[in-house]
Homo-oligomer: A and B are copies of this chain.
């Protein structure tokens, strides 16, 4: 039985709590949030104890691991305090949107030896993971072309969220950068990005973009394309396509049902895609927690590391710099 202290009981934290509660060998025992009523609500739903005192949670004997789902700008602090408390950590992505803070966190973490898994949940999605497994198993031969389509359903999130998110590249593309590294099995070494403002004036007002195309290459010569938009009118568009000498394997979109319609307006019409990440990646979130429980319990290192989070951010920064300078950018991971 792995007992979790949950840090942050917002929408994502609450979802995590419920997914933990379903596991036969795990439980949420403590819920922390700066908003007492939010903590109380999630605690009630999972049989946990609510608190607004982080030290109480981190010091509790019945907390075997922490799950960090607090706002992004608190992740570094929560990671370090949890590490000090010696608790294994499952932390939502990203580590931070400020590269300097990430590097500082990396330095300070050297003092501790706690397992830390970063929440790149898409790696656990049955469809995307199916592509990665097929590639890793050599089904398509050496990977030559990787095409990632990743478009959020609209409208744009509220301004405060946009202001804090670090911009399109650090907030959205970063997921695709991690997916690229995951499927490629190696690091991109050069990145070029084009971007535009097409979705909503708010992005330009914030100095951000809302539409982008990236190309990258790896040392071995694999090429990767990512395209992003902050808005679709047909749901959450999330696809991965890997191509090589022996074939192509793709992860296609998920829908709420397998209903199709034929009529005067056309044939084969399917549902809109699942709306957003909590619906689309529910199975991935559950598999991610399942894997964390299994590996922490077995004393194995987590599958997605701090370094994975850092490298995805480095790639996002490279894409941003490329866009700003209109030059391809070489990525330095040291």
- Which residues in A have some Cβ–Cβ distance to B below 8 Å? 18, 21-22, 24, 45, 126-127, 130-131, 134, 139-140, 142, 144-145, 147, 149, 151, 190, 192, 194-199, 211-217, 221-225, 227, 229, 231-235, 237, 243, 245-273, 326-328
Contact = CB atoms under 8 A, between A and B. Distances in A.
Contacts of A24: 45
Contact of A145 (B227, B270, B271, B273): B227
A258 B127 contact: yes
A207 B28 CA distance: 53
Number of copies: 4
Contacts of A21: 22
Contacts of A267: 234-235, 253, 255, 269-273
A303 B144 CA distance: 36
A247 B262 contact: yes
Contact of A248 (B147, B199, B262, B328): B262
Contacts of A45: 24
Contacts of A192: 192, 194, 215, 328
A292 B22 CA distance: 20
A18 B22 CA distance: 8
B247 A257 contact: no
B235 A213 contact: no
Contact of A212 (B222, B223, B231, B326): B223
Contacts of A144: 196, 198, 211, 229
A213 B273 CA distance: 28
Nearest to A144: B198
In the A-B complex, the 7 residue pairs with the closest CB atoms? A247-B263, A130-B259, A126-B257, A196-B221, A266-B269, A248-B262, A252-B258
A246 to B, nearest CB: 6
Given A196-B222, A197-B221, A233-B245, 11 more contacts: A18-B22, A147-B147, A192-B194, A195-B223, A211-B223, A233-B247, A234-B263, A250-B262, A255-B267, A262-B273, A264-B272
A255 to B, nearest CB: 7
A142 B134 CA distance: 32
A144 to B, nearest CB: 5
Contact of A249 (B247, B260, B328): B260
Contacts of A233: 245-247, 263-264
A134 B266 contact: no
A147 B147 CA distance: 10
Contacts of A272: 264, 266-267
Among A134, A190, A263, A268, chain B packs the most CB atoms within 10 A around the CB of A268
Contacts of A199: 245
Given A127-B259, A267-B273, A213 B249 contact: no
A256 B22 CA distance: 20
Nearest to A209: B221
Given A194-B192, A223-B194, A229-B144, A266 B270 contact: yes
Given A211-B223, A229-B144, A263 B251 contact: no
Contacts of A232: 243, 247-248, 262
